[in-house]
Structure formats: structure tokens, C-alpha cells
Structure 1
Amino acid sequence: MLNPHYLDASLLVFVEITLNRGAPDVFEQFNSAVQKLEEIQECHLVSGDFDYLLKTRVPDMSAYRKLLGETLLRLPGVNDTRTYVVMEEVKQSNRLVIKTR
């Protein structure tokens, strides 16, 4: 597993995105735009009080402020964001449990 600290990506951030649903194709526009962003590791359309949950890793808070202000807030249809900075990664895994029948 790669160590993000050695790759200048030590700050792990999750971002809630709420879209302005006024445009009929806002979800398609957002999906297309976020696919092009190398900074975004994961993007999930979710149920609940917001529309998307994004995961990103950046060098520091200054880099995140720049990403938020210059990129995320300018994505198509973005109405609101909420940021969650990870203080400690308790568990991280890419493994899938395969159950036998």
C-alpha cells in the first residue's frame, strides 16, 4: 500500500456536495466534470441530505482551500459543500469479502 505522507498527499478530506437541481441535466453535467478531476479519488452519488460524497487527498489545508475555491465550487450545479477533514485514519482497506456458498 502506498503511503500518502511520502507522496505529498497527507491530508485526507471528505466533501459533501449538494447540487442546485434547477437544471434538468445537472447530475450528468456534474458527473462528467468530476470524472476529469485527478484530485478526486472517489465520488459517490448518495441518498440523504446531500447528493455526492467526494474523497480527496491533498498536501495540506492551503491546498484544499485552493481545490475547493478554484475547482469544487465551480463544478456544474454545485449549490453547497461541507468539508470533513480526517484527523486519524482508523482503518483503510480495498479488500472485498467474498462469501462462499
Structure 2
Amino acid sequence: MANLPEIQEVHIIAGDWDMIAKVREKDVEGLGKAVLDKIREIKGVKETVSLIVFESIKETTFLNL
């Protein structure tokens, strides 16, 4: 999954799901194709849930450690 160019981030998480991936596409049609034609075809992927961001208030990679 991490090798797909549409996927920007992949994280193993705790909770209801095992993994979360950040997918960026130019439109909803592109997102649908990425999910249906690529991600769901990956061995081991049993289910997908898509959440669409309407607006990003803050997005950064800066950490003040």
C-alpha cells in the first residue's frame, strides 16, 4: 500500500481499525478509483472506510521536541 503514489501516509493504529492511510486525489472520482481498483485489491485488505476532508485548518510536520 505504501508504494501507491496516491497514498501520502500510512499509519498502524489502535482502535476500531488497524491502519489509516492518507490518500490525495484531484477529485472524488480519482479517490474512488484508488480505493476500489487499488487499495481494496491488496491482499489482506478486508474493508475500507473513506472519510473526506472538507477543509484543513492546520497541517504541519513541525515538532518542537
Pair 1:93-2:60 in alignment: yes
Partner residue in 2 for 1:54: 21
Alignment TM-score, normalising by the size of structure 1: 0.62
Pair 1:41-2:12 in alignment: no
Identity of aligned residues (%): 31
* Matched residue count: 65
Post-superposition offset of 1:35 = 2.6
Matching residue's letter, 2:22: K
Matching residue's letter, 1:59: K
Structure possessing the higher radius of gyration over alpha carbons: 1
Q: Deviations over 1:33-85 (max 9, x none)?
A: x1321111000000111110000110000001111111010011111111100
Alignment TM-score, normalising by the size of structure 2: 0.93
- Separation in 2, partners of 1:65, 1:54: 14
Which residues in structure 2 correspond to 1:2-81 (within 5 Å)? 34-81=1-48
Structure 2 regions of 5+ residues with no counterpart? none
- RMSD across aligned positions (CA): 0.8
Q: Where in structure 1 do 4 or more consecutive aligned residues deviate above 6 Å?
A: none
